[in-house]
Amino acid sequence: MSPAELHADSIVIDGLIIAKWNRELFEDMRKGGLTAANCTVSVWEGFQATINNIVASQTLIRENSDLVIPVKTTADIRRAKALGKTGIIFGFQNAHAFEDQLGYIEIFKQLGVGVVQMCYNTQNLVGTGCYERDGGLSGFGREVVAEMNRVGIMCDLSHVGSKTSEEVILESKKPVCYSHCLPSGLKEHPRNKSDAELKFIADHGGFVGVTMFAPFLAKGIDSTIDDYAEAIEYTMNIVGEDAIGIGTDFTQGHGQDFFEMLTHDKGYARRLTSFGKIINPLGIRTVGEFPNLTETLLKRGHPERVVRKIMGENWVNVLKDVWGE
């Protein structure tokens, strides 16, 4: 197959998109041949505000049903592929929306939430994020992990502190993930994961989605799609070809105010970090350029079988396990 044919034939999944929700994004997802994506509907919001986000998102999906469909099962992902549409998985980047109510977890699952990050950068009732002294998984956090396992929501550890991450990995009876991270072996950064951390999650049946967020790449805003491919290869050499996928962290459509919200604790309090200028790697600036990644991986010598795994098949397999299908 040619690169274009392979991309068109493959299931292509992005494990994390936090772009601006609108028809333009959905059109770009179709241009990029995206089969499904984990789309963030909650970061700092509590229960009610997150419900409001989901209501708005469901309305947008319904109004653009020619382009997208909601995803609650991996069968929905395959149906999206068959229909030539993009499946939308609701995801959280913080367990804050659970508040202190374990019962909310099943409610969100019923609304289509399939992936929840345990913490976003700082402390919450579950554990600690990567920009704060890490106290590990709380007692309540252990209950949250157990309930997420029971109802079938994947535990995400991308922005989570090292100790809390280790304890979630050990506590969970289902595979957990770093949905969008990079190796600190290529660049030291609080958001990047060490070789030991990558190996630990893979050794315990976990999964790694590799991001291309410029501040975490070695060459920053001067990075290209080949630099992103290098990060994928570096990670795959540690976790293996069955435990790796894509998690771009696309933020397209958002302005500076959005990044200000993300980089302050709870969206408004103390500053945690500053990203500076953000430009995605040359060759994959937008979701619509996703086919270039398939082509790049093939050009770098990866066989079609492995490229299919990286681009989406591995995500389907791990989600099927976690979602209890």
DSSP 203-255: HTT-EEEEP--GGGSTTGGG-BHHHHHHHHHHHHHHH-TTSEEE---B-TT--
Question: How far, in Å, CA of 282 to CA of 181, rounded?
Answer: 19
With left for phi above 0 and alpha for psi between -120 and 50, is residue 147 left, alpha or beta?
alpha
Instruction: Report whether 117 contacts 158 (CB < 8 A).
Output: yes
Question: How far, in Å, CA of 304 to CA of 3, rounded?
Answer: 9
- Helices 195-203, 162-171: axis angle to 10 degrees equals 10
Q: How are beta strands 113-117 and 177-181 bridged, if at all?
A: unpaired
Question: How far, in Å, CA of 289 to CA of 297, rounded?
Answer: 14
Instruction: Report whether 196 contacts 2 (CB < 8 A).
Output: no
What are the average pLDDT values for consecutive 10-residue runs of the chain, which has 325 residues? 97 98 98 98 98 98 98 98 98 98 98 98 97 97 98 98 98 98 96 98 98 95 97 98 98 93 94 90 98 98 98 98 96
Question: How far, in Å, CA of 87 to CA of 36, rounded?
Answer: 4
Question: How far, in Å, CA of 84 to CA of 135, rounded?
Answer: 45
User: What pTM, to 2 d.p., does this model score?
Assistant: 0.97
How many domains is the chain partitioned into structurally? 1
Q: Looking at residue 266, what is its pLDDT?
A: 94
Q: Looking at residue 119, what is its pLDDT?
A: 98
Instruction: Report whether 278 contacts 262 (CB < 8 A).
Output: no
Q: Looking at residue 277, what is its pLDDT?
A: 86
Domain of residue 165: give its range: 3-323
Q: Looking at residue 275, what is its pLDDT?
A: 87
Q: What CATH number does residue 46 fall under?
A: 3.20.20.140
Instruction: Report whether 159 contacts 118 (CB < 8 A).
Output: no
Residues 6+ apart with CB under 8 A from 157: 117, 118, 164, 165, 168, 169, 176, 177, 178, 201
What phi, psi does 30 have (nearest 5°)? Answer: -70, -40
Strand ranges in the chain using DSSP code E only, listed in sequence order? 13-17, 36-42, 68-70, 86-92, 113-117, 154-156, 177-181, 207-210, 244-246
Question: How far, in Å, CA of 306 to CA of 108, rounded?
Answer: 34
Instruction: Report whether 286 contacts 28 (CB < 8 A).
Output: yes
By CB atoms closer than 10 A (0-12, 13-18, 19+), residue 221 is middle
Name which of 18, 57, 58 is nearest 38 in CA terms.
18
